[in-house]
Amino acid sequence: MMNKQQYLLYFIMGSNNTDKNPEDALREAVQGGITSFQFREKGQYAEEGPAKKELAGRLQKICREAGIPFIVNDDVDLALELGADGIHAGQEDTPLVDIKKRCPSSMTIGVSAKTLEEAEQAVQDGADYLGVGPMFATSTKEDAENPVGPGAIRLLRESGLSVPIVGIGGIDAENAAFVMEAGADGVSVISAVSRADDIRQEAERLREVLR
């Protein structure tokens, strides 16, 4: 199970989010101080089947050696096969109740939410954390909806939700503070880190903003 500090800089990446070798990119991000990692192999040119599982295993090994949580996006079978530390489910993915039936209680389960209704439903269903966004414009998620802004997190907090929340979508070192000020426990980042020339430095810059 993840503790709150581990949500601070939650890096997400798949092989199509970087021009570098994914393992090198993750190693550099770990050196820069990411606090958790999500394997999200999705979209154009994403690996599938055995190649996806092998890549996941290599990235999981890096996380294990660094002592940071390794989370799998969407793919419950893969998460269970690998003994991942958690799984992240989107609103259109496997319903939480079904995931919880299949996963050991030690696994962290995260859910995407952008409205109070989705958030309250997810918490009621037993979500361990919420991913709220897109905070800002993003071109990384092909079907991303319109940005909701950090105000969406503030609204959830003002509604009394105390569950761990990370903001996601278009976040970088220049705007991360707004997400934290809105009441997030951390930020999730893909391209600001995965596409940086100096990945380690970009992760370090984000950590400086976050604390």
Ligand X SMILES: C=C1C=NC(C(F)(F)F)=NC1=N
Known binding site for Mg(2+): residues? Answer: 74, 93
Query: Binders of ligand TZP among 37-76, rule CB under 6 A?
Result: none
Residue from 47, 57, 66, 90 touching Mg ion (CB under 5 A): that is: 90
What CA–CA distance (Å, rounded) separates 77 from 80?
5
Query: Which residue, 124 or 197, has its beta carbon nearer to ligand X?
Result: 124
Instruction: Tell the smallest beta-carbon distance from residue 207 to ligand X (Å).
Output: 17
Query: Which residue, 69 or 134, has its beta carbon nearer to ligand TZP?
Result: 134
What is the DSSP code string of 74-117? S-HHHHHHHT-SEEEE-TTSS-HHHHHHHS-TTSEEEEEE-SHH
In the annotated binding site, the residues are 38-42, 73-74, 93, 112, 138-141, 170, 190-191
Instruction: Tell the smallest beta-carbon distance from residue 170 to ligand TZP (Å).
Output: 4
Should residue 88 be labelled a site residue for ligand X when binding is judged by CB under 6 A?
yes
Should residue 99 be labelled a site residue for ligand X when binding is judged by CB under 6 A?
no
Instruction: Tell the smallest beta-carbon distance from residue 131 to ligand X (Å).
Output: 2
Residue 112 annotated to the active site? yes
Should residue 87 be labelled a site residue for ligand TZP when binding is judged by CB under 6 A?
no
- Contacting positions for ligand TZP (CB under 6 A): 133-134, 138, 140-141, 144, 168-171, 189-192
- Contacting positions for ligand X (CB under 6 A): 10, 12, 38, 40, 73, 88, 90, 110, 112, 131, 166, 168, 188
